[in-house]
Amino acid sequence: METWSGFYKRPLEERRRLVAEHAGLDEEEAGLLFAGSALPVGLAERFVENVVGVFPLPLGIALHFVVDGSPVLVPMAVEESSVVAAASHAAKWARATGGFRTEVMDPVTIGQVEVRDLADPRAAAEVVRREAAAWRVVLDASIPAMVERGGGVRDVVPRIVGDRLVVHLHLDTRDAMGANVTNRLCEALAPLVVGAVGGRPGLRILSNLATERLATARCTVPAEAVGGPRVVRAMVEANDLARIDPYRAATHNKGILNGVDPVVVATGNDWRAVAAGAHAYAALDGAYRGLTEYVATPEGDLEASVTLPLSLGTVGGVTSLHPVARVALKVLGDPDARRLAAVVASVGLAQNLAAVRALSGEGIQRGHMALHARNLALQAGLAGEAAEAAARRMVEEGRVNATRARELASD
């Protein structure tokens, strides 16, 4: 990984060249990745309504990630300062002990078919259990291409929710996120269910609480990497608070998503669905909790893990249409859906580790203040080393504000 040493200090053109060489990008792909906006307005009109333009985001590369033994460069589309640097920094801690180890379930999406006005939902659930195998055959026959790729209906499961029956369709969508095909099969399943149990069909749509698509990432962080056993203990205690206090858990989980969402965005996936699923999973037992587990080892090192539902795809939809998303996937090594989930979970854990370390050590505001000072210097019209020098001076003086930035710019 020596190639990436001091990457952030290198000129922009050199950073671009290194990434292009690493990913094997041709001239056209490199042009797409490095353009100010590679999304033509005409293509944007195919995505949403009432288009008047496009809104570019900075695209950074997170470094030092090793996931299941393989190094990977991680594209992150995000506007928030420090996110890419923090994830890279924590990935270096984990790399010292082999990187991130993951467990990822098969890409099974859940669809829901609701049935209302049933006299006996429990009896209806028994009918569903008896008919499930036959319904699987019928539904699989309608998606032969997906079945050929190894996907298809895995189960049909009844649930009683209040006085209603909700039938879950478990569909292995392979490398597609699978929303459209899941919704289509829910529509096809509904009349089969109602015909067998009676009642009135209600909602027929996928669920973003993808408990059949869980991804777990784990790593070991050496105590000396974060400041010693005392800091490890403080980080464990901070995580413990997120497990019992929803006010802390909301911010803690937002820190995880600070890492997750930029990768999801960069690869053309649905970050809103991922965020909704993560927050719902955090409250699955009825209390909203932090999604990570931190444990201090007998040697004083930190064992950390995160588990969250990740409905991600590497084919179809915006992932296939957006030119930068396609190149971002190439930078990632052209992963399948499970590999992408492994990487995304690892980045989420890394980002959380960096945030909790900052909170447990010098405090998160110190780093944020330096970044805020730099932004103020840029807004005041300074650039390059002049902006960095002004930022350092504002922090040293303890006067990080727009007025002081303008004063320094006018000197």
List the catalytic residues. Answer: 80, 254, 270, 368
CB-count burial class (<10 Å; 0-12, 13-18, 19+) for 319 = buried
**Apex 378 CA angle, 374 and 379, nearest 5:** 115
Task: Please name every residue paired with 192 in a beta bridge, in sequence order, or none if there are none.
Answer: none
- CA 317 – CA 294 distance, rounded (Å): 36
Burial 263-297 (b: 16+ CB within 10 A, else e): bbbbbbbbbebbbbbbbbbbeeeeebbbbbbbebe
Distance of CA 247 to the CA centre of its chain: 21
Q: Are 388 and 362 in contact (CB under 8 A)?
A: no
Task: Please name every residue paired with 306 in a beta bridge, in sequence order, or none if there are none.
Answer: 217, 292
Task: Please name every residue paired with 295 in a beta bridge, in sequence order, or none if there are none.
Answer: 303
**Token output for 355:** 């945030």
* Selection from 307, 270, 349 nearest residue 67 by Cα: 349
Please spell the DSSP secondary structure of 184-225, one letter per residue.
HHHHHHHHHHHHHH-SEEEEEEE-S--TTSEEEEEEEE-HHH
- CA 133 – CA 181 distance, rounded (Å): 19
Please spell the DSSP secondary structure of 64-101, one letter per residue.
EEEETTEEEEEEEE--STTHHHHHHHHHHHHHTTT-BE
